Amino acid sequence: MPTSPRPPRRSPLARAARLGIALTGAAALAIGLAPAAGAADTGGSGTDKSDNIEHVANLPKPEGFDSTSAYNTDLAFTGDYAIDGNYNGFAVYDISEPEEPELVTTVLCPGGQGDVSVSGDLLYYSVDYPRESADCGAAESTPADADAFEGMRVFDISDIESPEYVAAVPTACGSHTNSLVQGEETDYIYVSSYAPSDRYPNCQPPHDQISVIEVPKDAPEDAAVVSEPVLFPDGGNPPGTPSRETSGCHDITVYAEKDIAAGACMGDGVIIDISDPVNPEVVETVRDDNFAFWHSATFTNKGDGVIFTDELGGGAGATCNAETGQERGADAIFGLKAKPAKGDRPAKAELSFKSYFKIDRFQEDTENCVAHNGSLIPVKGKNYFVQAWYQGGVSVIDFNDLENPEEIAYFDRGPFTEDLSGSWSAYYYNGHIYSSEIQQGFDVLKVTDKRLKGAEDVEFHELNPQNQPRY
């Protein structure tokens, strides 16, 4: 794996190493430590699953993405296509027949993280560590180079078989993730990044901000940063607490219908008023001593609750075990009361803690496992959540009772010990669950559960899980 310029903003392994997290098994092997005693390389064999879920298809990572250091990452969907981000670029899959997906094309454009979002004919791709230039073939650069590029890449995917690279927008500290506020003529991209350093001219502390990029849909080549709102004017969660010091956000989920967003920002979980999309403002903050790193967020269907996830161990730790327990490396579920701004009255929000959820299928000490990316399953008026847990697999959770969530389906491969592995993102789209497996490719799952039957009536034409509609 290439040397990390800013370890906390790179791979889960690098983040864990920077944080001093003890690693065993696969993680230890990948950074040159001794493996755990008795660790075996099973290559992903020994699959376990519930009776109501089937693994219907898998496509291995394609050429150019097939090294263990080229991690598969996030997913976005448009029409009959799934777009799978990767540290080396992205792949497009035809999912018109979900049980027989086909690779359509790959775009080799290394930049790290590879978070993806789609909007009509445009695709947005996050670049999280510096390159010598914005060109797709540019070599990795030193972060001390003020001319280095990291930020957002914009592609025209009107010809899905031949995407065209149309714009590159540099942002402070690059782009770890991106989230959209979509309009008819203009998109706004909320760029989340973190871990500043005095040594890096393009990533100066305190970095209590996000970047907002405006993209004219009819002229995406003119995309540009239009604001850098400071979300934490008081500095956010301070150092010396159980949670990470806040120096930026990791991810933001937008609920446009209600003009709010939920931000997972290292040491803080926040609700953001986005009624003015260029100038978002935090209106509620929560902290939790059981949370190490506020990683991502998903609203309930009605927007009256939020699931926040904790990426304990930076994604590299084996934290799904009895020793870690059920309240760390978990989901935290909050009730939400939110009032939009009206006239001279500012927006208000209140979060109230309800419960934790964590898979109780303990994993081996070679398996990196922690709460990660997921999405709401579109059952009208109900709250079902599909979620990735790295090597903990894919879990389907019923959280209609916010105080008593329960797992109702799961798919879990056996250990993969050559490097980090597991499901990075798992999302529901038009009748199936799609999982971006870090090492083992593109997975398609089918859940047969009467509680989820209503989701089959919902047909998406586009889905970015971090841009959440109401069903």
How crowded is residue 6: how many other Cβ atoms within 10 Å of its Cβ? 24
Q: According to the model, what pLDDT value does residue 142 have?
A: 85
Q: What's the CATH number where 37 sits?
A: 2.130.10.10
Q: CA 175 from chain center: how many Å? A: 12
Q: Quote the domain boundaries for residue 355.
A: 7-463
Q: According to the model, what pLDDT value does residue 45 have?
A: 55
Residue in this structure with the two tokens 């990683």, named with its chain if needed? 295
Distances, alpha carbon 470 to alpha carbons 256, 340, 364, in Å? 9, 16, 38
Please choose, from the candidates 433, 429, 395, the residue with its C-alpha nearest in 3D space to the C-alpha of residue 412: 395
Sign of torsion over alpha carbons 129, 66, 100, 91: positive
- CB 25 within 8 Å of CB 365: yes
Q: According to the model, what pLDDT value does residue 60 have?
A: 98
Q: According to the model, what pLDDT value does residue 24 have?
A: 38
| 453 lies in some domain | yes
| 322 lies in some domain | yes
pTM as predicted:
0.92
| 470 lies in some domain | no
157 token code pair: 């995917």
Q: According to the model, what pLDDT value does residue 12 have?
A: 56
**Tally of CA atoms within 13 A in the half-sphere of 301 that contains its CB:** 16
The H or E element spanning position 191 is strand 186-192
Q: Which residue stretches of the chain have pLDDT < 50? A: 1-10, 15-44
| 450 lies in some domain | yes
Q: How many domains does the chain have?
A: 1
Q: According to the model, what pLDDT value does residue 368 have?
A: 98
Please choose, from the candidates 63, 68, 114, 62, the residue with its C-alpha nearest in 3D space to the C-alpha of residue 88: 114
**Tally of CA atoms within 13 A in the half-sphere of 128 that contains its CB:** 30
The three-state secondary structure class of 315 is helix
| 435 lies in some domain | yes
403 token code pair: 């105080």
* Cα–Cα dist 366/18, whole Å: 20
Q: According to the model, what pLDDT value does residue 255 have?
A: 97
